[in-house]
Homo-oligomer: A and B are copies of this chain.
Amino acid sequence: MIKNINIRTKSRNEFVDITSELQTLIDEAGIKGGICLVYVPHTTAGVTINEGADPSVVKDIQNTLSKLVPREGHYLHSEGNSDAHVKATLAGSSQSIIIDGGKLLLGTWQSVFFCEFDGPRHRRVTVKIVSD
């Protein structure tokens, strides 16, 4: 089963919590056990799992990445978004999450975040749910 989640980001750097959208897809599929593969088909965006309770945490992650990989620099790529490509590689293009008892088996503080590094844009997350 492959489904898409459509996202409209509003800033250049923005982490969007997609945990509830993922859980809805699993509920709709009626799958009790398996693996949820969350895949980002973009080269200036990624996906990560981190704390969702305090929004300061993802802000700190964004700020730290921007400090490590500044927007301006001696980049060769002429589109002015090389920083976003580097961040995409650092965050990663996919996350694999266990499904157990019909639920994403996330830790207490974990949420799944789409990571926008070159917004605002219309984006897509592709989700494959593999049943046991």
What is A's interface to B at a CB cutoff of 8 Å? 2, 35, 37, 39-43, 48-51, 54, 56-57, 59-61, 63-65, 68-69, 73-79, 82, 85-86, 88-98, 100, 105-110, 126, 128, 130, 132
Selected A-B contacts with CB under 8 Å, 22 pairs: A35-B37, A37-B98, A39-B97, A41-B106, A41-B107, A42-B109, A43-B49, A51-B85, A54-B77, A56-B78, A60-B75, A63-B74, A63-B76, A64-B69, A64-B86, A89-B90, A89-B91, A93-B95, A93-B110, A94-B95, A98-B126, A130-B130
Within the complex, the shortest CB–CB distance from A1 to chain B, in Å, comes to 9
Q: Binding site of A, secondary structure by majority: helix, strand, loop or mixed?
A: mixed
